[in-house]
Structure 1
Amino acid sequence: MKILAVVDLSESTANIVEKAEELAIALLAKLWLLHVAEPEPDFVGYDVGPQSVRDTLSQKFHDQHRQLQEIAERMRGNGIDATALLFQGSTVETILHEASRLDVDMIVIGSHGRGAMYHLLMGSVTEGVLHAAKCPILVVPTHNRK
């Protein structure tokens, strides 16, 4: 069994990681932990801007890489075969591409529980993956419900 857990490195990541770990342990699964970062402006045709902006974006990317590696290392310490993946690009397209490339059996992804108006105006990564993925998807609620 192969599982792709998609995280955004926000406070919701813990819920997604917890559920992915439970599944990986129960199913003796290989687990990939994927974060898709915003592409750097230099790579997508935007004006470059000051060096300080590029340095800030570069530092953010390195921090995200470190966070992912720490999560994967903790998982490996718990006996899970875990690998961290960090890519820049279109979030939905990258998730779908990696799910296909890795031939995963399941995707674990979060849902922030935003309202219909937000989705109408902004769309949703989770909805985009749900509509196009070729494998089962577990959607983990990541918002606090009272």
Structure 2
Amino acid sequence: MKNILVTIDFDGKEQILLDKAYQFASVFNSKVWIMHIAAPDPDFVGYSVGPQYIRDSRAEELRNEHRILQDFSRTLNERGVETDALLVDGATIEMIMKEAEKLNADLIITGHNDHGFFYKAFIGSTSEQIIAKSKIPVLLVPLDR
């Protein structure tokens, strides 16, 4: 197992996923790729970005997310695991599959939150969609602790 792709969402539970990635990477001497998929650019979803302050705000948000990812990466590197961070935008499931293939990932680690019926009916479960589309083994880490 040479490459592990960890998908994180800035929901305050990232450390659980990063710890799990560290455990696997330490045992298998794997490289860890920490990936966050940023909210799509308003143009991507069909809305105009509007005035300059909106573009500036979006740019600052992306810079902050990138800094956080770099900090996570630096921490794992300091613990002896080769790690890189990826900040991408686009459709979540498609980007995870695309990046996993591009990186030759041997394992995808993602979190799983147990949502209620209405959430699943209208939004769906990202983790279930990853399992359904992935040809790569997926490790679901429960985040509802």
Letter in 2 for 1:132: K
Question: How far apart are residue 55 of structure 1 and its match?
Answer: 1.2
Is residue 76 of structure 1 aligned with residue 71 of structure 2?
A: no
Q: In 2, are the aligned partners of 1:111 and 1:141 still within 8 Å (CA)? A: yes
Normalising by structure 2, what TM-score? 0.94
Please, what is the CA RMSD of the aligned residues? 1.2
Question: How far apart are residue 120 of structure 1 and its match?
Answer: 1.2
- Return 45-54 or 92-101, whichever deviates more: 45-54
Normalising by structure 1, what TM-score? 0.93
User: How many residue pairs are counted as aligned between the two chains?
Assistant: 144
Q: Tell me how far apart the structure 2 counterparts of residues 32 and 129 of structure 1 sit (CA, whole Å).
A: 17
Q: How does 1:107-122 map to 2 (within 5 A)?
A: 107-122=108-123
1:95 counterpart SS class: helix
Is residue 48 of structure 1 aligned with residue 49 of structure 2?
A: yes
Structure 2's unaligned 5+ residue stretches are none
1:67 counterpart SS class: helix
Question: How far apart are residue 56 of structure 1 and its match?
Answer: 1.1
Question: How far apart are residue 52 of structure 1 and its match?
Answer: 1.5
Q: Which stretches of structure 1, 4 residues or more, deviate above 6 A after TM superposition?
A: none
Q: How does 1:25-36 map to 2 (within 5 A)?
A: 25-36=26-37
- Return 29-38 or 47-56, whichever deviates more: 47-56
Question: How far apart are residue 109 of structure 1 and its match?
Answer: 0.0
Task: Report Cα offsets for 1:104-125 as digits up to 9, x if no partner.
Answer: 1110000111123211111121
Q: Tell me how far apart the structure 1 counterparts of residues 98 and 75 of structure 2 sit (CA, whole Å).
A: 26
- Identity fraction in percent: 36
Q: Tell me how far apart the structure 2 counterparts of residues 132 and 96 of structure 1 sit (CA, whole Å).
A: 8
Q: How does 1:1-16 map to 2 (within 5 A)?
A: 1=1, 2-16=3-17
Q: Tell me how far apart the structure 2 counterparts of residues 41 and 61 of structure 1 sit (CA, whole Å).
A: 13
Q: Tell me how far apart the structure 2 counterparts of residues 50 and 125 of structure 1 sit (CA, whole Å).
A: 32
Question: How far apart are residue 137 of structure 1 and its match?
Answer: 0.5
Q: Tell me how far apart the structure 1 counterparts of residues 4 and 126 of structure 2 sit (CA, whole Å).
A: 18
Question: How far apart are residue 44 of structure 1 and its match?
Answer: 4.4
Q: In 2, are the aligned partners of 1:35 and 1:86 still within 8 Å (CA)? A: yes
Question: How far apart are residue 57 of structure 1 and its match?
Answer: 1.2
Q: Tell me how far apart the structure 1 counterparts of residues 12 and 50 of structure 2 sit (CA, whole Å).
A: 30
